[in-house]
Structure 1
Amino acid sequence: LEERVREALAEVARLVGEEARSQTWHPVLRDTPFGDYDVRLLYETRLEEFTSLAEDPSRLEAVRKRLQTLWAELRQKGLPPPGTYYALLHADGDRMGETLDGLQNPEAHRAFSNALAREFALKVKGIVERHGGGLVYSGGDDVLALLPLHRALACARALAERFREVMAPYGKGGVLPSLSVGLAVVHHLEPLQDALDLARRAEKKAKEDQPKRNALAVIYSPRSGSELAVRGRWDESPRLTQRLLRYADLIRLEAVPSRAAYELKELIREAGDVLSEEALVAEAMRILKRKEMKEAYREELAHWIRTKEHVERLAHELILARPFAEAMEQAGVPVESREVWDAH
């Protein structure tokens, strides 16, 4: 199958010409059929960005047909075409000024700066690339990176954990440096400046929503439809990353009907300010009971809704988990059992 992909890309590249060759190289593509080529070749919507195709409609049509044949062949093998969403991560340290103010002498300041630079900033590139991403910059406690969607949540957590470990010796009097992370989930045709603005807004939401700091915020900007944002602190149990990954697995198992999340969201919109909290939670339970799903999965979701805030959170997180589920399915990530998930 890999050889068929390689042959198809080589044929497409011959039609496109020199423009088809990749101008950048990423270690995650090493020894794959995609390593030598501009990945825009994989998307019909981007083919006209190649001058040779834009100026020759017959050649453009030939490339389109070859790609369509390839994707049809892959679908027969259970493999979907490449995903259209990616994640842009922006992270920033919390309480850094307070921590610096608490250091007693120049030696302590130097030790702090060295730890931040050598033990965190210089390690970020490796962490990002181990999760299939590309680092844009890492300066002190500031990080910007591009990530494949199926690894983005794990990367966000790995960065936050590394930062916490490096900064742990410098926490004094309850002031412990932490990392607030924003993830923007965006379509690949979204202007990069818009994606960057979204990632910065997500990081700001992680840092400034209550309770402040030490958090992850994810903002999803679908190609059509309204923006959706969720947030969770790193010290929550279960963490936002865990919840989203679990919901993604339930979606992949077709264990949760897609309408459930939208009905919960509609309940909040229509009755959130009318019903008492107890009545609202009861109505949310009734929505889940009306859905065709295994009792164990229904009870699992019901366990997480105790308040109005929980109902709204569940609705938003179920909706936002879907692009992650699609990316994980496309990447062939195994679905985890609840027991394995509990052990994370």
Structure 2
Amino acid sequence: MCLLSFRLGQHQPEQLRKLYKNYRARQGEWLSGVDLLKRLGKLKDDLEPKFKSTSHIAALPYLVKVHPDHKEGEDYPILNEIRTVFEKATWKIGEEEDGALLYEGRITEWVSGEEAQKELRKALNSILDNYEKKLRPSPYYALLLADGDNMGKTIDAQKKPDEHQRLSRKLSQFAIAVPEVVRKYQGVCVYAGGDDILAYLPLHTVLECGAELETKFKSQMEVFTTIDHLSPTLSAGIVIAHHLTPLSDVLEMARQAEKEAKSFEGKNALAITLSKRGGVARTITDKWDALYQRVTRLSTLSRQGAISAGTAYELQELERFFSRTTIPIQGKIDEAIRIIKRKRESGGEKKINDKIQQDFEKWLTNGISPGRLAYEMIIAQTFGSAADMASIPLPIDQEASQ
């Protein structure tokens, strides 16, 4: 097999321009003959899949912020301005209507030479500042991988041909509906086949999208049962990943998260993995409804400033301390509540209200350890920051804001 490879770093600027123009090859890439075929080969227009980059999905909360009235199919004015800057520099870019243009870190993919990169960074930051001073898009997005529970047993329990046909119809109806649900939440459905789903979504919508898919699947499947009288449910893994992390790595993390969810007792579970670039990935898992309710509640409290941003890290320290002691469970809960009850403000400290305290006491009493709760708070803050950037209205909750 003949391989045609380019090491772009060894070429001069003019050669780099030609390589990009002819082969869409970026600086630092190695392209084999198969790679070139996949990149340059074209299907018929009506068959060509159109996927936005992970960078674009990560940038969506920011794009919603700066263009709140944007409609699907329209150009984003901010991306048009940035593209114009690139065109003035005689560079042609592949992602003409993609949020990848908003990230400084991707400039080197299209432009070589320190001076040219410096100029473009300056121009890019000037455009961004004109829209929202000092606000920059988050580099994180979510990958969702879901699969039906108890499907094999459910299929085996259908004894008649018409029962199998009805089950097949219901699965097809669900699969057909999935892309539209994902699109409604500004995501991209990579595939939806029966009870299998793979999609990537922005952080401010992924939880709601997952919840709607889970509810829709249960609704479609509730008429079918196994011999143990169990109806099919949906379990999923969600990975919060950096937009530049190789997609193969993110997909592997999503598979592990989905596997953890499907190993949860009774299933119908959700596992969420937070993979910070340069950090260790951590996963939280629970029944779908329980984890969804807890994380969305914690996200709201974080956005309202109802609990201190540093509380999660104090709880992590507390968990490490507890690991070296034999303090009774109730003593651990009391100490965790003492930390949670404080609400730091610029002018001092203020206690949280009774309703919030009761929520935390319930979670801790039900077996959520301080360390586990701390990590759920950190993940919830990540979702909350995206919701704030996208200017998602806060739910009306008078008690939390008192």
TM-score class, shorter? 0.7 to 0.9
2:98 alignment partner in structure 1: 38
Corresponding residue to 2:201 among 147, 163, 168: 147
Q: How does 1:177-326 map onto structure 2 within 5 Å? A: 177-209=232-264, 211-234=265-288, 236=289, 239-272=290-323, 274-291=326-343, 292-296=349-353, 297-326=356-385
Bigger shift: residues 172-181 or 330-339: 330-339
2:108 alignment partner in structure 1: 48
Quote the offset at 1:170 in angstroms. Answer: 0.7
Distance 1:180 1:73, change over 3 A: same
Deviations 1:160-203 (A, max 9, x none): 11110110111254211000011000011111111001111111
Deviations 1:124-164 (A, max 9, x none): 10011111000111111111001111100011111111110
**SS across alignment from 1:104:** coil
Quote the offset at 1:49 in angstroms. Answer: 1.0
User: Could you tell me how far apart the structure 2 residues matched to 1:16 and 1:329 are?
Assistant: 35
8 Å contact from structure 2 (residues 140, 243) kept in 1: yes
User: Could you tell me how far apart the structure 2 residues matched to 1:160 and 1:110 are?
Assistant: 22
TM-score w.r.t. the length of structure 1 is 0.85
More helix by share: 1
Query: 5+ unaligned residues in a row in structure 1: which ranges?
Result: 23-35
Distance 1:280 1:166, change over 3 A: same
Distance 1:249 1:126, change over 3 A: same
Q: How does 1:9-20 map onto structure 2 within 5 Å? A: 9-15=82-88, 17=90, 19-20=92-93
> Structure 2: which amino acid aligns with 1:62?
E
Q: How does 1:46-195 map onto structure 2 within 5 Å? A: 46-50=106-110, 53-54=111-112, 56-76=113-133, 80-117=135-172, 119-172=173-226, 173-195=228-250
Bigger shift: residues 128-137 or 326-335: 326-335
8 Å contact from structure 1 (residues 216, 233) kept in 2: yes
Deviations 1:57-110 (A, max 9, x none): 33322211011112333333xx82211100000000100011011111111111
Distance 1:64 1:140, change over 3 A: same
> Structure 1: which amino acid aligns with 2:365?
R
8 Å contact from structure 1 (residues 74, 81) kept in 2: no
Distance 1:191 1:335, change over 3 A: same
TM-align CA RMSD:
2.4
1:30 alignment partner in structure 2: none
Quote the offset at 1:300 in angstroms. Answer: 4.2
8 Å contact from structure 1 (residues 305, 311) kept in 2: yes
User: Could you tell me how far apart the structure 1 residues matched to 2:399 and 2:240 are?
Assistant: 26
Deviations 1:24-43 (A, max 9, x none): xxxxxxxxxxxx42332111
Deviations 1:251-276 (A, max 9, x none): 22222112211111222222146211
Query: 5+ unaligned residues in a row in structure 2: which ranges?
Result: 1-65, 68-75, 344-348
User: Could you tell me how far apart the structure 2 residues matched to 1:279 and 1:285 are?
Assistant: 10
8 Å contact from structure 2 (residues 237, 254) kept in 1: yes
> Structure 2: which amino acid aligns with 1:88?
L
Quote the offset at 1:225 in angstroms. Answer: 2.8
8 Å contact from structure 1 (residues 20, 38) kept in 2: no
**SS across alignment from 1:169:** coil
Distance 1:339 1:181, change over 3 A: farther
User: Could you tell me how far apart the structure 1 residues matched to 2:197 and 2:366 are?
Assistant: 35
Q: What is the identity percentage for the equivalent residue pairs of Structure 1 and Structure 2? A: 35
Distance 1:165 1:339, change over 3 A: farther
Deviations 1:272-301 (A, max 9, x none): 462111111011112123443443144543
User: Could you tell me how far apart the structure 2 residues matched to 1:136 and 1:196 are?
Assistant: 12
8 Å contact from structure 1 (residues 13, 21) kept in 2: no
User: Could you tell me how far apart the structure 2 residues matched to 1:123 and 1:232 are?
Assistant: 26
Distance 1:134 1:285, change over 3 A: same
Deviations 1:100-122 (A, max 9, x none): 111111111111112101x2111
User: Could you tell me how far apart the structure 2 residues matched to 1:183 and 1:139 are?
Assistant: 18
Distance 1:17 1:230, change over 3 A: farther
8 Å contact from structure 1 (residues 281, 307) kept in 2: no
8 Å contact from structure 1 (residues 218, 230) kept in 2: yes
What is the aligned residue count?
318
User: Could you tell me how far apart the structure 1 residues matched to 2:326 and 2:89 are?
Assistant: 60
> Structure 2: which amino acid aligns with 1:301?
F
Distance 1:282 1:224, change over 3 A: same
Bigger shift: residues 286-295 or 142-151: 286-295
User: Could you tell me how far apart the structure 2 residues matched to 1:332 and 1:75 are?
Assistant: 13
8 Å contact from structure 1 (residues 85, 149) kept in 2: yes
TM-score w.r.t. the length of structure 2 is 0.73
Distance 1:177 1:249, change over 3 A: same
User: Could you tell me how far apart the structure 2 residues matched to 1:228 and 1:180 are?
Assistant: 18
